[in-house]
Amino acid sequence: MKLKINVTDFGAGSKKVTSSERKISEIAKNAGTTIHRAKLLFRMVNYFKPKYILELGTSLGFATQAMSHGNPKAKIDTIEGCPKLSDYTKKHFRVLRLDNINIITGNIGDTIKQLESKQYDLIFFDGNHTKQATLEYFESLLPKAHNNSVFIFDDIYWTNDMTEAWKTIKQHQKVTVTVDTFYWGIVFFRREQAKEHFKIRV
């Protein structure tokens, strides 16, 4: 696709694309969720059946669509910092008739503080891949988690910075079980379970 948009990047940015004007095809290749990960996300949402989902970093909405199809009854809030990208993806969702997705445009850190007081069953962290931002988002969203909530962190080994953030999250007193898939870090808060950390390859 030759269509280009001006991207406002609030996060760590892309390692491969530095221009603010980017082709949709470049965003899909370098910043979008892969088919493999989208399928896994679909299966996880289909299994856990979360009613309320929050996604940080919509991009082109590949992950969002996977979650929407995984549980069509879920209510999905997804935050995208770039207005142009948000508008493009919002129109795409309308074409696909994905009515259970609510795109919120704005800086993720600021928007989190303005969210309604409801709790989320699943939160997918895929925006601003820096240690400071990731930990701030994590701490800010802990009050919106309950005993059976699931947090999924994308690209935990993308940089040393992200790996340090993942190590800090694993040791948090409210975290009981974690699953490291190499590209994702999955967090559970079940108080009835002993603290354990698993590594699997999927």
Per-residue pLDDT tens for 70-127? 999 999 999 999 999 999 999 999 999 999 999 999 999 999 998 987 899 999 999 8
pLDDT score for 174: 97
Rg (CA), the chain: 16
- pLDDT at residue 31 in the model: 55
pLDDT per position as a tens digit, 5-63: 566 655 554 444 445 675 655 655 555 578 899 999 999 999 999 999 999 999 899 99
Q: What is the per-residue pLDDT for 32?
A: 59
Q: How far apart are CA 29 and CA 44, in angstroms?
A: 23
pLDDT value of position 16: 47
pLDDT at 9: 59
Q: Taking every pair of C-alpha atoms in the chain, what is the biggest distance, in angstroms? A: 52
The per-residue pLDDT for 116 is 83
Mean pLDDT of 137-147: 97
Span 150-164, average pLDDT: 97
Closest listed residue to residue 172, CA positions, set 154, 188, 149: 188
Q: How far apart are CA 27 and CA 84, in angstroms?
A: 13
What pLDDT sits at residue 33?
75
- Cα dihedral sign, 120-92-72-156: negative
Total residue count of the chain as it appears in this document: 202
Torsion of Cα atoms, 114 then 131 then 84 then 62, to 10°: -100
Q: What is the pLDDT of residue 30?
A: 55
Q: How far apart, in whole angstroms, are the C-alpha atoms of residue 44 and residue 124? A: 11
Element (H, E) at 133: helix 131-141
